[in-house]
């Protein structure tokens, strides 16, 4: 499990922000249906963000993250990987995600996040350099996998910096 059941993004809500949100059911070309959560600002920036959850699937943490992005003007959608094995129902604290993770294939979702190692970061950085791609790679020394959580106060500085960098990246993309 990447975070505790009561985890929330360490991002303050913007009081009075004009945001809409909807639970969606999307259908793939092969007929598979999966759940999604869409958060839209009343005044969109023109930037869209796709949120790919961890092993728990579409969970409250990711809905909250979508809302925080929309409050800042960015349309955000979080998707649920488990449509093929668990249907489109909401995931609660008792959702047996391990059972569904075991039955989920890369072909079924086209995403495979393993805990990223220092060696993988170095190889990725080298590939970017070799390709002449402009990039910024940030490592938060001592921060664990999934440190971006309001309940992990000891990593608040790293979380604040990561959030600031995400927003700066989105602004640069305009």
Q: Could you report the per-residue pLDDT of 42-76, keeping only the tens digit for each?
A: 999 999 999 988 777 888 889 999 999 999 999 99
Q: Is the pLDDT of residue 140 over 80?
A: yes
Rounded Cα distance, 166 and 171, in Å? 9
Using the predicted structure, report yes or no on whether residue 89 has a pLDDT greater than 90: no
For residue 4, tell me if it sits in a domain. no
Residue 8 lies in a domain: no
Mean pLDDT of the chain: 84
Determine which helix (DSSP H) or strand (DSSP E) holds 33, and give its type and residue range: strand 33-41
> Using one digit for the tens of pLDDT, what is the confidence trace for 4-13?
777 878 888 8
The pLDDT value recorded for residue 107 is 61
Per the structure, the count of domains in the chain is 1
Largest Cα separation within the chain, whole Å, is 46
Is residue 143 predicted with pLDDT exceeding 90? no
| CATH assignment of the domain containing 133 | 3.40.50.1820
Residue 49 domain boundaries: 19-173
In a domain? residue 164: yes
Domain assignment present for residue 162? The answer is yes
Q: What is the reported pTM? A: 0.79
Q: Is residue 31 included in any domain, yes or no?
A: yes
Measured CA to CA, the distance from residue 67 to residue 41 in angstroms comes to 9
């Amino acid at each position: 499990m990447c975070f505790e059941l009561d985890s929330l993004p360490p991002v303050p809500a913007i009081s009075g922000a004009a945001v809409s949100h909807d639970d969606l059911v999307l259908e793939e070309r092969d007929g598979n249906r999966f759940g999604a959560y869409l958060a839209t600002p009343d005044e969109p920036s023109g930037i869209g963000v796709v949120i790919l959850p961890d092993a728990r699937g579409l969970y409250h943490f990711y809905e909250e993250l979508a809302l925080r992005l929309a409050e800042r003007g960015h349309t955000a959608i979080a998707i649920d990987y488990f449509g093929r094995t668990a249907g489109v129902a909401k995931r609660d604290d008792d959702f047996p995600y391990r059972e569904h993770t075991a039955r989920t294939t890369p072909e079924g979702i086209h995403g495979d996040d393993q805990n990223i190692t220092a060696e993988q970061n170095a190889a990725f950085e080298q590939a970017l350099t070799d390709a002449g791609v402009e990039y910024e790679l940030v490592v938060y020394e001592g921060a664990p996998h999934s440190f971006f959580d309001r309940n992990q106060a000891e990593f608040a500085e790293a979380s604040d910096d990561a959030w600031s960098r995400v927003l700066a990246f989105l602004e640069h993309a305009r």
